[in-house]
Structure 1
């Protein structure tokens, strides 16, 4: 049985798995000072103890979302997946931008906003934005995604940074970073961003962030299957204004993730009915989500035609013990990428409520995510969103370094104020 030292500081440090050297580097103290705190020979600085407690509570799922540790802005906000994750680690959202009206309706139904939800980022007045510490953005992925590139190629249209309507939106984010110099940022996009245009697109993005804006940047492609029952690979790009030692390789992912049974409606009376998704008295999934004979026959014939050609295109049929394919924004069309087996009848689509669970917006013991839009809009919104638990893990990994850069910024501000006073006196 593991034994802990008697002090609270030592208990938290050991429980989190930090070595004395690691926590000393993280808090900007000498190892000798940390040893004194651990032995109770001196009291730890209260602000640093509070930081360590906050990091511990976030990682153990005990953090109170009412306690704000930093301010962030939410760009290309969608339905607030990035916001939900960053609020879970103690962030306070002070600015939101999302151009889609249906997404804004869902966003405003789920989050308390003491600020307006702004529209197109290109219309934002950069000089009149609130102060913030962290920028988060899931900037549009269509110019970089495999599907988006294929569609634009078929239409003879340019893509990536040559796309006049969406490809340049990254540079609006870059302009905002340049103007306000946030302490940190998190950008999210599709995995294909790395390989688009033979890697040139990603090279331009990294050169912009590192060389032109001067940030210390690291990135990682993460599959959401570690957190939710869905294969969903996305790239996360993290940057810090100062060299705080952040590295993605230190982020440990769960070895085994949940299965689809954890998000499916139970249909046995243990789950309260929720119209229009499930029906009384036992919470049976509504018949409208079962595929019609005509659609089911079409999907089977379509899959057989492509199998004969040696292609892998077709529907995905899953049960409770499986991990699903990626939920996409086109799911409303036929649901073919994720169909649920049903005994004695045609398979069915996921309900929007199950999509909310699949993307991590709904969790046991928490208030259900409000879905104020039609099924078609809901499928588009969840299919375009981030898997919230993945961003929570990334955010929790960033949090110690956010504290570290904020401490550094505070010290810098104090020095600048001191020089201003000296100059004024002179």
Structure 2
């Protein structure tokens, strides 16, 4: 009996990982999250019946169907550089250990079994939280469950006009742990998915059971911020826009004045952050005009709401990035947004999701090939063992 391309999506949110996997032929049999609003958005797009709206602490391994792939995007709150940095064993980020517990419990149920492939996603800060010890501990926990591991660092800006760097861990049960010479071959190759900081981490930790795979170069992005702007959305009033302008550094104000003289519109984004401006620490609007947006975030705090700005033809306009533009920035322009969901909940949904084409790329060039390799060598009896 061959493996099937089935998956369980833990911390599934609004389903952007599910969407990326589906595009590469995977069928998501089980999705888990604790938000009723996210469940509504998910089921609007992917149907009902397989989304479990519960706290992961209430879930046991026997509750999960037999799947080939388990994905987890556990909360980044305590490992992100924008968060508390209190570590993997504290707060919401400690739910990583609930995921590990469930995988272990799945292995104890003969009719379920541990999924042969694991995919974990989180922020780049995972690489350095706890002075790097958090990631070491997490990878060793996967090793202890029988998984050899690989790590990738991918910026969504290769696919969409949004700067969004994320760390991915890929584990599999049947990969052979590579020796030092084999690892040296992989880490000597300059590939974008393993920049120098990733190579350095791998080299520094030969005690971890690694199983690295060759990957192609990441694609070259073909769209910019201007391509995803919703021109039907209303811009702010003149007074509100002027207030934003007056919150900027003088150098950014000068850039805007120059670009207002163009005979065409160009676009940028703004985040408000606390900065020292004019000798005083105050809310400051920081301008970005490189054709990509900053990282979408959940709407917590004053810096979370990203602002779209337009300049040219003698004008300077501003407004919040809307729901449809957020979907485009996450590589999900076809995503159906229910009318009864509040704008805040929509921003929450997209702000803590995973960029669809990044998942699709990983599925195409890594997970699918791994699936085929495992399917050619593993019997169902071996999987159940």
TM-score category, normalised to shorter length: 0.7 to 0.9
Aligned ranges 1:151-230 → 2 under 5 Å = 159-163=86-90, 165-180=91-106, 181-210=114-143, 212-230=144-162
Query: What is residue 348 of structure 1 aligned with on the other side?
Result: 319
1:372-411 C-alpha deviation (Å, 9 max, x unpaired): 4111111121111111111110111220111221333326
The Cα of 1:327 is off from its aligned counterpart by 1.3
Aligned ranges 1:379-418 → 2 under 5 Å = 379-397=347-365, 398-410=367-379, 412-413=381-382
The Cα of 1:318 is off from its aligned counterpart by 4.9
Work out whether residues 263 and 354 of structure 1, in 8 Å CA contact, stay in contact via their aligned partners in 2: yes
Pair 1:328-2:276 in alignment:
no
CA distance in structure 1 between the aligned counterparts of 2:363 and 2:239, rounded to whole angstroms:
39
Higher mean C-alpha deviation, range 367-376 or range 126-135:
367-376
Determine which of 72, 80, 84 is the counterpart of 1:145: 80
Q: Which runs of 5+ in 1 are unaligned?
A: 1-46, 49-67, 151-158, 268-283, 417-426
> Residues 248 and 388 from structure 1, CA distance in 2 versus in 1: closer, same or farther, beyond 3 angstroms?
farther
Determine which of 214, 217, 234 is the counterpart of 1:286: 234
Work out whether residues 290 and 349 of structure 1, in 8 Å CA contact, stay in contact via their aligned partners in 2: no
Determine which of 322, 332, 336 is the counterpart of 1:369: 336
The Cα of 1:310 is off from its aligned counterpart by 11
CA distance in structure 2 between the aligned counterparts of 1:323 and 1:291, rounded to whole angstroms:
26
The Cα of 1:199 is off from its aligned counterpart by 0.5
1:264-289 C-alpha deviation (Å, 9 max, x unpaired): 12x3xxxxxxxxxxxxxxxx312469
Query: What is residue 96 of structure 1 aligned with on the other side?
Result: 31
CA distance in structure 2 between the aligned counterparts of 1:415 and 1:247, rounded to whole angstroms:
25
| Number of positions where the alignment pairs a residue of Structure 1 with one of Structure 2 | 319
> Residues 253 and 287 from structure 1, CA distance in 2 versus in 1: closer, same or farther, beyond 3 angstroms?
same
Instruction: Look at both structures and tell me which one has the larger radius of gyration over its CA atoms.
Output: 1
Q: Which runs of 5+ in 2 are unaligned?
A: 107-113, 179-210, 250-271
By relative contact order (CA 8 Å, sep 6+), the higher-ranking structure is 2
Q: Secondary structure at the match of 1:250?
A: coil
Query: What is residue 339 of structure 1 aligned with on the other side?
Result: 308
Work out whether residues 241 and 318 of structure 2, in 8 Å CA contact, stay in contact via their aligned partners in 1: no
1:350-393 C-alpha deviation (Å, 9 max, x unpaired): 1110010000111xxxx442244111111121111111111110
The Cα of 1:116 is off from its aligned counterpart by 4.1
> Pairwise CA RMSD of aligned residues?
3.2
CA distance in structure 1 between the aligned counterparts of 2:278 and 2:20, rounded to whole angstroms:
44
CA distance in structure 1 between the aligned counterparts of 2:310 and 2:296, rounded to whole angstroms:
17
Pair 1:261-2:226 in alignment:
yes
The Cα of 1:257 is off from its aligned counterpart by 4.4
CA distance in structure 1 between the aligned counterparts of 2:135 and 2:370, rounded to whole angstroms:
24
Work out whether residues 231 and 323 of structure 1, in 8 Å CA contact, stay in contact via their aligned partners in 2: yes
Query: What is residue 57 of structure 1 aligned with on the other side?
Result: none
CA distance in structure 2 between the aligned counterparts of 1:207 and 1:109, rounded to whole angstroms:
38
The Cα of 1:216 is off from its aligned counterpart by 1.1
1:46-69 C-alpha deviation (Å, 9 max, x unpaired): x99xxxxxxxxxxxxxxxxxxx95
Q: Secondary structure at the match of 1:357?
A: helix
1:6-37 C-alpha deviation (Å, 9 max, x unpaired): xxxxxxxxxxxxxxxxxxxxxxxxxxxxxxxx
Work out whether residues 183 and 406 of structure 1, in 8 Å CA contact, stay in contact via their aligned partners in 2: no
CA distance in structure 1 between the aligned counterparts of 2:238 and 2:71, rounded to whole angstroms:
38
Aligned ranges 1:30-41 → 2 under 5 Å = none
Structure with the bigger percentage of strand:
2
CA distance in structure 1 between the aligned counterparts of 2:384 and 2:122, rounded to whole angstroms:
38
Q: Secondary structure at the match of 1:187?
A: strand
Q: Secondary structure at the match of 2:138?
A: helix
Work out whether residues 331 and 379 of structure 1, in 8 Å CA contact, stay in contact via their aligned partners in 2: no
Q: Normalising by structure 1, what TM-score?
A: 0.67
CA distance in structure 1 between the aligned counterparts of 2:383 and 2:354, rounded to whole angstroms:
38
Off by >4 Å, runs of 4+ in structure 1? 288-291, 301-305, 307-314, 331-338, 411-416
Structure with the bigger percentage of helix:
1
